[in-house]
Amino acid sequence: HLLESLEQKGLAGFVMKESKKYFSPAQPSKLVENLEEKKKIIEEIIPELDSLSDSITEKPRVVIFEGVKGVRAILKDVLEEKSTIYHYGDIISMRNVFAHVFPQYISERVKRKIPIKIICKKEEAHKELIKTAKKEYREFKFIPNDLKFESSVFVYSNKVAVFNLKQEPYFAVLIHNNDFYNTQKNIFELMWSLIK
């Protein structure tokens, strides 16, 4: 079967002697000719493939992260992207769940000069964060205490991460989509402008 396949590709030939088939290899240069032929075919269709690729609208990528380690992967991604973070929601749960890594996260964010804008309730636990806000590239706006944020949302670099850290099982949903990101960012900016 392999010899017949090589024969069909022009890489082997045969002769019949006394009703027996004798195969012989083609010149090695034939391999290069075959590759050049394939390259030429690919080069001819690339413009058409490019135009098809350009016409395809962006598909959203949605990933669910579970457990503390999984959710921490998003915090790492936030730092890697190095873009402004728009954060609204339940900060206290996030600080409690990531108590041992949160100081490192803040330190690394400050080191990379990544600004963060936060909309949340004003609580006792925020006192220190408010004191260090300016030097840690952090801005706050506070909502009335009777409003409840049960989850936490990060809007950053064409991505939106929704964290559920109130109780186990902890999980987060990361949506990577430009339209969704822009919508969430506009909602955040609208809230930011309306809060006194």
pTM of the model: 0.68
Judged against a pLDDT cut of 80, whether residue 46 lies above it is answered with yes
Q: Give the torsion sign (CA, 53, 54, 58, 63).
A: positive
Q: Measuring CA to CA, which residue among 156, 192, 186, 191 is closest to residue 174?
A: 156
The answer to which of 85-89, 112-116, 127-131 has the lowest mean pLDDT is 127-131
Confirm if 139 and 20 have CB atoms less than 8 A apart.
no
| 2-6, 13-17, 92-96: range with highest mean pLDDT | 92-96
Judged against a pLDDT cut of 90, whether residue 49 lies above it is answered with no
CA atoms of 155 and 119, how far apart (whole Å): 12
- In which band, very low, low, confident or very high, does the pLDDT at 115 lie, cut at 50, 70 and 90? very high
Q: What is the mean pLDDT of residues 90-112?
A: 87
CA atoms of 70 and 28, how far apart (whole Å): 52
Residue 52 makes CB contacts below 8 A (sequence gap 6+) with none
- In which band, very low, low, confident or very high, does the pLDDT at 118 lie, cut at 50, 70 and 90? very high
pLDDT of residue 32: 76
Q: What is the mean pLDDT of residues 10-25?
A: 75
Confirm if 153 and 163 have CB atoms less than 8 A apart.
yes
Mean pLDDT estimate for the chain: 86
CA atoms of 157 and 43, how far apart (whole Å): 34
